[in-house]
Amino acid sequence: MENYFILPFTLGMITLFVILFIKYGLWIARLSHIDKLRIIQCIFTRRTWDAIVESVMEGLLHRSIFKRNPLLGYMHMSLAFGWFLLIVVGHIEGFLCYGTFANAPWIPIFFQYFVHYQFPGERIMTNLMDFLLLFILSGVLLAYFKRLNSKIFGIKKTTKLKPFDKMAMIALWFIFPLRLFAESATAALYGNGGFLTNSVANLFILIHVTPTMESILWWAYSISLGLFFVGMPFSRYMHILTEVLFIFLRHYGIKLKKQFNSYSRIQVYSCSRCGVCIDVCQMHVANISNNQSVYILKNIRDQNLTDRKLYNCLLCGRCEQVCPVKINLNDLRISQRIRATKEYNSDYAFLQSLPNETPTTGKQPEVIYFAGCMTHMTPGIKKSIVKVLDKANVNYIFMDKEKGACCGRPLMLAGQYEAAKKLIDFNRKKILESGAPVLLVSCPICYKVFRDDYELGQITIKHHSEYFLELVEQGRISLKKSNSSIVYHDPCELGRGCNVYEQPRELLKKTGTLLSAKQEKVMSLCCSGSLGDLSLSMPDRNVIKAETLKVLLQKNPDVLATACPLCKKTFVKGVNIQVKDIAEIVANAME
Amino acid sequence: MIDVLIIGGGIAGIETACSLQDLGYETVIVEKERTIGGHLNNWDTLFPTHRPASEVLEYYTEETRKRALTIYLNTYVTSIIKLDDGTFEVNTSRDVIFHSKTVVIASGYSLFNAERKEEYGYKIYDNVLTSADLEKKLKTLNGEFKTPTDKVPEKIAFIHCVGSRDEKSGNHYCSKLCCVTAVKQAIHMKQICPQADIFCCYMDLRMYGPGFEEMYREAQEKYHIQFIRGRLSEVGENADGTLQLKVEDTLAARPSKIKVDMLVLMVGMESPQSTALFKETCGLQCAPNRFIQPNDHHIGSNKTNIDGLFTAGTSIGPMSIFDTINHAKASAITIKNYLSRN
């Protein structure tokens, strides 16, 4: 029979649905009991609607990529949204022709082949379909160019492909040109084309197209579709549908766990490898270009992730900021580290030797202050904090004044989850016993772990920049403005990590003239001192730091201000101007 | 046109000038400070003999006077330019332009700024000094030795390798002289404060010179100075101004805490900023440690990558006074060969 050409498409589609059904079924089945309950509870709420909206905005329109790189965004949008519309309009066409939506799935796909006769709205529909095809073809053309020369898109480097990716990609490249040619051949024979297919059909008439040629083209179109469907679950195009699943689960409030689980896997498979994360990675400055998030996710899928790549990352979170799919790239990497690491064999016996009672102040304390290792290593900051607290008459407990345990964040970043938990339990007990309503920290590294992993209940955690601003607003301290110009560096853990951007700036504006930097707030650069990277060499760190300083010092400020002891320590050996923590600036500016 | 322009009037510069003058060449020294002698002016005694630094300084002052050397004080070099005819034009801060057949860079070193190692509390806690501060204090000592907070010290700690062999502080190399200086200063402190307990926290002890190892042995056996192998991690201050040190004793494999009255940081040597300036103005080649790169480590350590531009002393890397003097003498001979050849 001449209609056999629908078989590659049909078999491909059935294979795809079976595989997806099994894969998604298993992933969802393996979610924790609580997560499943969450899904059931949320399914008939507004969250589903929000997820649908986001699926359209991101999965089809690719709004986030558009914002960062309009050309790349257009490419993704024309393919995704164009194809989606082609299917939808195809079904409408089927409805107009047959009076029902319950047509065989191949009808809308090969519509031109089956329907040569007139039906209501035929002219409009055919031209609309042609227009959509042209829209997609423009995207395909861009995809060709991107493969040939990614620089046109402003991308330094595009991702490497493996065999299934290549198969699916080549099939995808051919689908729409073949559809155009197949439809045009039919149009040449039967005159049922639109503005585009008729134009190509006119060329076909010149070379005397035959029904055999027509049949070959439809076969080729069907085969390329079939190949794409079969290759899809094993290639990067798996992201097309997984991303939608991920968007729904995210809206239902499912969170990434410390241990790599099926939700982590859904995130990994949601990566479209658009390459946006490659561009923002600072590692390029040091000529390191194999460890960016897109490669890590690919390595997780292919199960060939090396420790070298896994641990060579500043965990600055810039890639997470720009990821159009909003994958939790940092936490995913940490969960891989937890998986890859051998648990550090320590019983932390020294914790027993530390003073067990929480220090008290006699009356109800306002604040419990945890300085942490890094603040102890920068006594200038520690002294300033104490000075400000004393001046404002704050009734506080200095939790680790004499002896203390680490907050646990460095271990967490290294993937030493169990070890970190021992420290967390120790500190947590002390903080809760203190009875203070506020935990004050002067190190964003500690702040992050207190916020994410401590479960401190009613206690609010505040960075000193937040707390000092409150003290100023309450009139407990007052600051004198000098005429020095200040540029502020957002520490990764405080800014992207804990979302504190404005309070430090508000404080600095009260002490001097605040200058802006070219890349700041959510896109601020890492100082390179990060504890998150366990293998970056010192010379490489220095190269990255020099680049960051270049951006920060562009306007020749008098003072480089930061709010993290580690950033301060990192910068201080690279510049000739003053590097100060915001605590020191406030302590100096107090009247 | 002068024969040799010498940048720096420290020991290296003066010795080079004296030797060249004796060989019959006309020299000019340019010194940025208002006296000659460089860092030696601030030093009390010298290792390994504990001889007063002033003796060496007096010797060179006398030699300078005898030869009536031409010295421009309070003058610093702003650029070195090699002209097409192979001679040099040297611009200075004083609107004096020198034309010279050869130039010697004897600009020495600068000390590591210990504030960059904030965890050690320099300029934050009163009782933290650098080795250079201690020398100044000893030089002007009048009566009993007291800490900056006016206490007769009972415990003193010396910290080796501050700003040396420490990539995080930006210097990966060994400054070579701080080890023996610490031993010398520790002995000195024990001599003037016999009641005090003295600790030295070190990574390695590099007692490379004649008499150094003997001094180290004497420090342990005779003066009972305690050497702890381990780096200082952080310093805290107590209410009474004493300092709390957190150190890992790596031989005992345990962390320990020491309370001291005074802390001395053995700051390392760094290439001075002027070297970077010379690098910029005449294409001078520098080593990864930022000191000047000798043209040949073994047989041309006074030469640079630029013909006619020579070095003397610590501008090529950390050096003791006797090594500096030898290097300066060698520089004079190298320049003589160069000038008689051209």
B residues 92-121 closer than 8 Å to A (CB): 116, 118-119, 121
In B48-198, alpha helices (H): 53-67, 131-139, 178-192
Length of chain A: 591
Residues on chain B touching A528 (C-beta within 8 angstroms): none
H helix intervals, A3-118: 6-29, 33-42, 46-54, 63-68, 70-98, 106-109, 111-114
Residues B274, B311 contacting (CB under 8 angstroms): no
**Total length of chain B:** 342
**How far is the alpha carbon of B165 from chain A, nearest alpha carbon, in Å?**
13
CATH architecture for segment(s) B2-109+271-341: 3-Layer(bba) Sandwich (3.50)
Query: CA-to-CA distance for B179 and B142, rounded, in angstroms?
Result: 27
Interchain proximity A377–B234, CB inside 8 Å: yes
Cβ of A379 within 8 Å of Cβ of B172? The answer is: no
pLDDT at A191: 84
Mutating which of A376, A528, A573 best tests the B interface, going by the most B Cβ atoms within 10 A? A573
- The answer, yes or no, to whether residue A561 has pLDDT greater than 50, is yes
Interchain pair B170, A573: CB under 8 A = yes
Contact A379/B119, CB-based, under 8 Å?
yes
Contact residues, chain B, for A574 at CB < 8 Å: 170
Determine contact, residues A395/A363, Cβ cutoff 8 Å. yes
Q: Do A379 and B236 touch (CB under 8 A)?
A: yes
The verdict on a CB contact (< 8 Å) between A379 and B124 is yes
A302 or A564: which leads in pLDDT: A564
Is the Cβ pair B118, A574 closer than 8 Å? Answer: no
Gap between the Cα atoms of B90 and B96, Å rounded = 9
Q: Are B124 and A538 in contact (CB < 8 Å)?
A: no
The residue ranges of every structural domain in chain B are: 2-109+271-341, 114-268
- Is the separation of the CB atoms in B107 and B90 below 8 Å? no
Q: Which residues of B touch A562 (CB under 8 A)?
A: none
Nearest-angstrom CA–CA distance, B152 and A534: 45
B210-264 pLDDT tens trace: 999 999 999 999 999 999 999 999 999 998 999 999 999 999 988 889 999 999 9
CB atoms within 10 A of CB A234: 16
Contact B119 A383 (CB under 8 A): no
Q: Helix B11-22 crosses helix B53-67 at what angle (to 10 degrees)?
A: 40
Strands (E), B146-231: 155-162, 197-202, 226-229
Which of A376, A379, A538 lies nearest to residue B167, judging by beta carbons? Answer: A538
Shortest distance, CA A136 to any CA of chain B (angstroms): 54
In B, which residues are within 8 Å of A568 by CB distance? 118
Using CB atoms, which residue from A379, A542, A574 is nearest to B118? A379
pLDDT digits (tens, 9 = 90+) for A531-555: 999 999 999 999 999 999 999 999 9
A417 to chain B, closest Cα gap in Å: 24
Residue B233, chain A, CB below 8 Å: the answer is yes
How far, rounded to the nearest angstrom, does the alpha carbon of residue A182 sit from its chain's CA centroid?
A: 40
Of the candidates A378, A542, A573, which has its C-beta nearest B119's C-beta?
A: A378
Q: Indicate whether A158 pLDDT > 60.
A: no
The token duo for A116 is: 């040569």
Nearest CA-CA partner of A77 in A132, A125, A145, A144? A132
Looking at residue A159, what is its pLDDT?
62
Distance to chain A for B340, nearest Cα, Å: 44
pLDDT tens digits, A383-433: 999 999 999 999 999 999 888 899 999 999 999 988 899 999 999 999 999
Measured between CA atoms, the residue of chain B closest to residue A401 is B236
B84 touches chain A (CB under 8 A): no
Contact B237 A380 (CB under 8 A): no
Q: Quick one: B114-268 is in which CATH superfamily?
A: FAD/NAD(P)-binding domain (3.50.50.60)
Confidence of residue A51 (pLDDT cuts 50, 70, 90): very high
Average pLDDT over residues A270-294: 90
Q: Which residues of B touch A377 (CB under 8 A)?
A: 118-119, 233-234
ipTM score assigned to the predicted complex: 0.83
- A1: pLDDT confidence band, cut at 50, 70 and 90? very low
CB contacts under 8 A, B 276-295 vs A, are: none
Q: Is the CB of B233 less than 8 angstroms away from the CB of A378?
A: no
H helices of A327-463, where? Answer: 329-340, 350-353, 372-376, 379-391, 409-413, 417-434, 444-453
**N- to C-terminal Cα separation, chain A:** 93
Where is average pLDDT lowest: A159-173, A274-288, B48-62, B227-241? A159-173
pLDDT at B211: 94
* Domain B2-109+271-341 identical in fold to domain B114-268: yes
Q: Which residue ranges in chain B fall short of pLDDT 50?
A: none
Partner-chain contact A379 B237, CB within 8 Å: yes
Residues 6+ apart with CB under 8 A from B152: B144, B145, B146, B193, B195
CB B229 within 8 A of CB B254: no
Residues of chain B positioned with their CB less than 8 A from the CB of A538: 167-168, 172
Q: Residue A362: is its pLDDT beyond 80?
A: no
Q: What is the per-residue pLDDT for A120? A: 84
Closest residue in A to B124 (Cα–Cα): A380
Q: Across all residues in chain A, what is the average pLDDT?
A: 91
Do the chains contact at A573 and B233, CB–CB below 8 Å? Answer: no
CA neighbours closer than 13 Å in the CB half-sphere of residue B134: 26
What distance in Å separates residue A568's CA from the closest CA in chain B? 10
- Chain B hits for A546, CB-CB cut-off 8 Å, are none
Contacts of B234 in chain A (CB under 8 A): 376-377, 379
Q: What's the pLDDT score for residue A155?
A: 59
Looking at the partner chain, which of B168, B170, B236 has a beta carbon nearest the beta carbon of A376?
B236
- Give B255→chain A minimum CA distance, Å: 10
**Residues in A lying within 8 Å of B, measured between beta carbons:** 376-380, 383, 538, 542, 568-569, 572-574
Q: What is the set of domains in chain A, with CATH numbers?
A: 2-30+61-234 (no CATH), 255-340 (no CATH), 350-471 (3.40.50), 479-589 (3.40.50)
Distance from CA of A85 to the nearest CA of B (A): 57
What gap in Å lies between CA B226 and CA A235, rounded to an integer? 65
Q: Which residue of B has its CA nearest to A377?
A: B119
Helix (H, G, I), strand (E, B) or coil at B237: strand
Q: Which of A380, A542, A572 sits opposite B124 (nearest CB)?
A: A380
Inter-chain residue contact B118 with A380, CB threshold 8 Å: yes
Q: Confidence band (pLDDT; 50, 70, 90) for A370?
A: very high
Confidence of residue A153 (pLDDT cuts 50, 70, 90): low
Predicted confidence at residue A118, as pLDDT, reads 83
Chain-chain contact of B236 with A380 (C-beta, under 8 angstroms): no
Q: How many CB atoms lie within 10 A of CB A376?
A: 22
Q: Are the beta carbons of A379 and B125 separated by less than 8 Å?
A: yes
Phi/psi at A481 (5° precision) = -85, 130
Closest-CA residue of A relative to B123 is A380
